[in-house]
Amino acid sequence: MSRRAALDKLEAEQRDRRRRIAGIVAILVMTAIAYGRAPGLGFIWDDESYVVNQPVLRDLNGLGRLWIPEVTPQYYPVVFTSFWIEHQLWGLDPAGYHVLNVMLHALNALLLWAVCRKVGLPGAASWLIAAIFAVHPVHVESVAWITERKNVLSGAFYLAAAWSYMHFQSIRDGDVRGKPPDEAWGWYGISLGLFVFALLSKSVTCSLPAALILIMLYQRRPIDLKRLAPLGPMFLLGALAAWNTAHIEREHVGAEGIEFALTFADRLLIASRALLFYPWKILWPHPLIFIYPRWTIDHGSLIAWWPLLAALAAGAGLIWLFAKGIRGPFLAIAFFAGTVLPALGFFNVYPHIFSFVADHFQYLASIGVIALAVMVAHRWLPDPKRLLRVAVVPLLVLVVLSWRHTGDFADLETLWTRTLAKNPDAWMPHNNLGAMRLRQAEQLMSRGEPADDVVAQAEQHARRAVELNPGHHTAHANLAEALRLQGRSVEALAEARLAAEQRPEWPGHHYSLGRLLELTAKPDEAEASYRAAIRLDPSLTAARLDLGRLLIARDVIDDAAAQYEAVLQRDPENFIALGTLANIRAGQARHAEAESLYDRAFAAAPRVQDKVQIAMREAVFLIQCPDPAVRDPEKAAIIAAQVVRNTRGELPNTIDVLAMALAAAGRFDEAIQAAEQAARRARDIGLTDLAAEIDGRLEHYRRRELPPQALPPGG
């Protein structure tokens, strides 16, 4: 090679390097702008079960447990490992999780660029495919939703595995200079390992070996045993992963029931309609909705078959082009259809309860449609500079659309309200907004604040969800709760019965039904419902507490005590169980145990008002206890005096108990002062009956004698 030729080659290599660096920077900058709002997003739907309330993320033991099937919502241990690492780094700050999702998506765009170049697509077209993938708004759902780490993480392993496998084949074919064929198998091992990680991130990546065959066809490589044999292990691993996911979706996620009672004809119509829906969303991404309208499928209607006819016609046209030697369109759409196949409706997928299509289903599949669109544009504009200049405006539009759509995922309130603005007949957002309003109402009521308006909103959303989907149990359960909070127990009971009938395996429904049965004076049925809830979920604390309370009212004391003991086995600091069991033990003359339980209940009580109630019970117990080894009026006086100080002397019953303790300790002068203060305070706030009772005890104190032992009203 002449010196001039060497210099030209060096200059060309430097030019190519500068272009690659500029291309990388451009993709990263566009992605950063498109997802600039991501760090400010919060946790949304399913993020609670995947991250916020996921126990395996909290400690070192969880890192091993998350690799055990059925421990996490889905068996994607690589995804949960990434969450585990993040949880150790930044806890439950959602910003870190969102930023990593964006980084992985940007990495996927760069890997896609490398794969397209490896396939042999023109340089400018390869970059444009990657750039569109990076900023297309149909991918926002996969990037802005933390739970969909499954997509962006599996995508990275999938694309890296694809590049590694193609490099393996290139070395075997002698296309890579200076690389002996023996080195190829190292790259095969890398590809296989990356593929396993992809499957353990999301099993939809099982389509990779089929996609690699399509690439061979595009490159016009011979499809022989030598080329197909290395794909055998991939096909096997992919089939196992797909079977496992289908099993989990059906048995543990809930992808079964009346919503999935579809005939093969129904599923065929759903699939054909979805095959047209997804490419259209790529070409015209408006509107993008978190929950699209769920199609009504009627295979008895002739018009319902037009999507299938259109899909068959398109397929026939693509096959005809393939036979004519124009392979690209058929292979691109075959890649798209094969990759999105698991979500087309032939297999039960839980989100199909709400809609048969979702943007995140076509995260990887969209590559085929994007590549086809770009290659068509390249055929019309073969000059790279003209192609990229024409692409500037569409890319900017996509960046803006992605930036706007990212805002829809700010938080649950925003997500559901914006979903309803675009799809007002979506029952699930109504149902979830109703549940949110119920939680808000409970928080308001716990603080003693009015919650009528919030409860009314909860009823409105829950009732609309029931109207739209009368067969869904949680909608009836939410409506029952909203009616209960409004005191409409009889109406609530009817809704709670429906929820329990529709999903008898849900313990929460039986618990809610039990509460309403108790409110409507049906104690026998209430007890049966509480026990059914506990039988289904022995760890359901609320059901055990309410069953225990009901059993005490029915004087079944030993069984009640057993319920509270069971609660304490799982939650030793449950102050309600501790305090109530202390009362039971006091009545059973197990005095030392009762005192210990009172002390533990006081220490565990989270709120001042709870501590006050428990302290008053313990003080009276210590005053009246018949066991001299336990009776301790001085300790009772100390406890009562502390409560009086903490409540600023505003509660007359606490001052009354202090007076009783002081009298029992023989400190009658102090008892007289406390009783006089208690009586004055009772009259000041209008409790004349209590004041009269305190006056009666006061006369005993003045005579230096103890009044008959009795628990003061309100104590």
Q: Which two tokens stand for residue 39?
A: 């760090």
Would you state the pLDDT for residue 540? 94
Q: Which one, of 251, 208, 311, 287, lies nearest residue 70 by Cα? A: 251
Long-range Cβ contacts of 92-99 (<8 Å, 24+ apart):
92/43, 92/51, 92/52, 94/41, 94/42, 94/43, 94/47, 94/146, 95/39, 95/40, 97/51, 97/146, 97/149, 98/38, 98/39, 98/41, 98/144, 98/146, 99/38, 99/39
pTM, whole model, 2 decimals?
Answer: 0.85
Rounded CA separation 636/658 (Å): 8
Q: Which one, of 204, 335, 351, 350, lies nearest residue 275 by Cα? A: 335
Question: Among residues of the chain, what percentage have pLDDT more than 90?
Answer: 84
Give residue 571's identity as a one-letter amino acid code: D
> What are the residue boundaries of the structural domains of the chain, listed by start?
3-408
32 has pLDDT over 50? yes
**Residues, the chain, total?**
715
pLDDT tens for each residue of 440-459: 999 999 888 999 999 999 99
pLDDT tens for each residue of 54-112: 999 999 999 999 999 889 999 999 999 999 999 999 999 999 999 999 999 999 999 99
- What separation in angstroms does the CA of 231 have from each of 192, 209, 313? 9, 6, 31
Q: In the structure, what pLDDT confidence band is assigned to residue 287 with cuts at 50, 70 and 90? A: very high
Instruction: State phi, psi for 621 to the nearest 5 degrees.
Output: -60, -45
Q: In the structure, what pLDDT confidence band is assigned to residue 710 with cuts at 50, 70 and 90? A: very low
713 has pLDDT over 50? no
Would you state the pLDDT for residue 10? 75
Q: What is the mean pLDDT of residues 308-337?
A: 96
pLDDT tens for each residue of 110-143: 999 999 999 999 999 999 999 999 999 999 999 9
Q: What is the mean pLDDT of residues 253-267?
A: 71
Q: What is the mean pLDDT of residues 596-605?
A: 93
**Helix residue ranges, H only, 407-451:** 412-422, 427-446
Q: Which one, of 112, 159, 106, lies nearest residue 134 by Cα? A: 106
Rounded CA separation 203/76 (Å): 8
- What separation in angstroms does the CA of 140 have from each of 204, 361, 410? 19, 12, 12
